[in-house]
Amino acid sequence: MAEVRLENVRKEFGGVVAVEDVSLTVADREFLTLVGPSGCGKSTTLRMICGLERMSGGQVFFDDVPVAHLPANKRDVAMVFQSYALYPHKTVAQNLGFALRNLRVPKAEIAARVDEVAASLGIESLLERKPKELSGGQRQRVALGRAVIRDAGAYLLDEPLSNLDAQLRGSMRAELKRLHADLSRTFIYVTHDQVEAMTMSDRIAVMKDGLVQQCASPEEIYARPANLFVASFMGSPPMNFLTGEVQRDGGRLLFRHGAVTIELPEHAGAAVDELAGRDAVLGIRPEDVLLAGSGGAAGQIFVAELLGADVLVTVRLGEELVKARVPAPYDGRVNAAVSVVIDPDKVHLFDPSDGRAVL
């Protein structure tokens, strides 16, 4: 069993603050992903959990036991890196079994574990090959296998799919999720790819500038982003943002942006009062923007792009471009007039002074 808890973890390199102050608890057997843009401190956070980097402050606990003083090999963790180095002169089977041989596990047991792990990763037929006889995806599987062959309380993965092409990344995402279910162990995963974070995780911690911006389930992060950064980073194509003003008008709650008026839902009352008299930022995801013949704000089609099952339609609305994701087929002729209807129940409001979500 391994619950991993970080309390006020901090890391400075010289004068550079890589991780400012991170507190979070990864439950036993949970798949938690640290996601954020390059340089936000996610790799450094993972390296402090596994013991490859000393903390400048704070503490890491495994099942309530502080581990800051323990070197990496004394912590109950296995790590998979982006740049996996396989032993070039050893076969796949020998690469897989290496850690167990070091632990002096009996030969027959190593052979059985190698077969088991190879089967779970679909590399049974490759066991006698050398790394140079493998494709990139096969090598990545061997690297994963080498880590998961050891029984560890927590598996720490730093961008393990980033060297793979898009198609392989997609299939490996599903396999990693299966592997997590099969192993039933704690996984802490680092990526800058929000799709990986969304598809695999039980919970996601979104990081920026050495701080966790929000830590919640993928559904929660997507539906209720805590601030403008999370709202803009998570979701593809990204959320639309419009800067305008909110006001009460009789019994109605309105957002106005130039000639565009959007009626807000009843439960937006407190948010409207909070932002009244200053700028407000309205956020709406492309799938919550509907295109109709009439009844909404008048716009003009700027461009329409077929995504497959959906069409991404960019509409000029006043001076802004708003994206709508509508089911295909959609006749999106350039410059055609269109009426933009925003689903009021799906609207987000942010306070631009600090980025905080108020609705």
Kindly indicate which of the ranges 35-43, 104-112, 114-122, 143-151 contains the residues binding ligand ATP, using the contact rule CB under 6 A: 35-43
Measured from the CB of residue 109, what is the shortest distance to ligand ATP in angstroms?
A: 36
Site for ligand ATP in 37-56 (CB under 6 A): 38-44
Measured from the CB of residue 320, what is the shortest distance to ligand ATP in angstroms?
A: 31
Sequence letter at residue 238: P
* x-or-dash string of contact with ligand ATP, 156-195, rule CB under 6 A: ------------------------------------x---
Residue from 18, 77, 147, 206 in contact with ligand ATP (CB under 6 A): 18
Rank residues 183 and 211 by Cβ distance to ligand ATP and give the closer one: 211
Under the criterion CB under 6 A, does residue 208 sit at the interface with ligand ATP?
no
Measured from the CB of residue 16, what is the shortest distance to ligand ATP in angstroms?
A: 5
φ/ψ region of 258 (left if φ > 0, alpha if ψ in -120 to 50, else beta) reads left
Rank residues 206 and 312 by Cβ distance to ligand ATP and give the closer one: 206
Rank residues 39 and 318 by Cβ distance to ligand ATP and give the closer one: 39
Query: What is the Cα–Cα distance from 258 to 254, expressed in whole angstroms?
Result: 12
Cα–Cα distance list, 169 to 136, 158, 166, 174, 176 (Å): 11, 14, 5, 9, 10
Query: What is the Cα–Cα distance from 348 to 241, expressed in whole angstroms?
Result: 9
**348 contact partners, CB below 8 Å, separation of at least 6:** 225, 231, 239, 282, 283, 284, 357, 359
Q: How many residues bind ligand ATP (CB under 6 A)?
A: 12
Site for ligand ATP in 298-317 (CB under 6 A): none
> Is residue 70 within a helix (H) or strand (E), and if so which, with residue range?
none
Query: What is the Cα–Cα distance from 117 to 119, expressed in whole angstroms?
Result: 5
Rank residues 13 and 87 by Cβ distance to ligand ATP and give the closer one: 13
Under the criterion CB under 6 A, does residue 13 sit at the interface with ligand ATP?
yes
Map tokens 């007039």 to a residue: 337
First to last CA, the chain: 38
Under the criterion CB under 6 A, does residue 213 sit at the interface with ligand ATP?
no
Rank residues 56 and 94 by Cβ distance to ligand ATP and give the closer one: 56
Query: What is the Cα–Cα distance from 115 to 94, expressed in whole angstroms?
Result: 11
Under the criterion CB under 6 A, does residue 103 sit at the interface with ligand ATP?
no
For residue 329, the SS3 value is: coil
Under the criterion CB under 6 A, does residue 83 sit at the interface with ligand ATP?
no
Rank residues 40 and 347 by Cβ distance to ligand ATP and give the closer one: 40
Site for ligand ATP in 116-135 (CB under 6 A): none
Residue from 36, 235, 286, 299 in contact with ligand ATP (CB under 6 A): 36
Quote the crossing angle between the two packed helices 136-148 and 166-183, to the nearest 10°.
Answer: 20
Rounded to an integer, what is the distance from CA 61 to the centroid of its chain? 24
Chain residues that interact with ligand ATP, rule: CB under 6 A: 13, 16, 18, 36, 38-44, 192
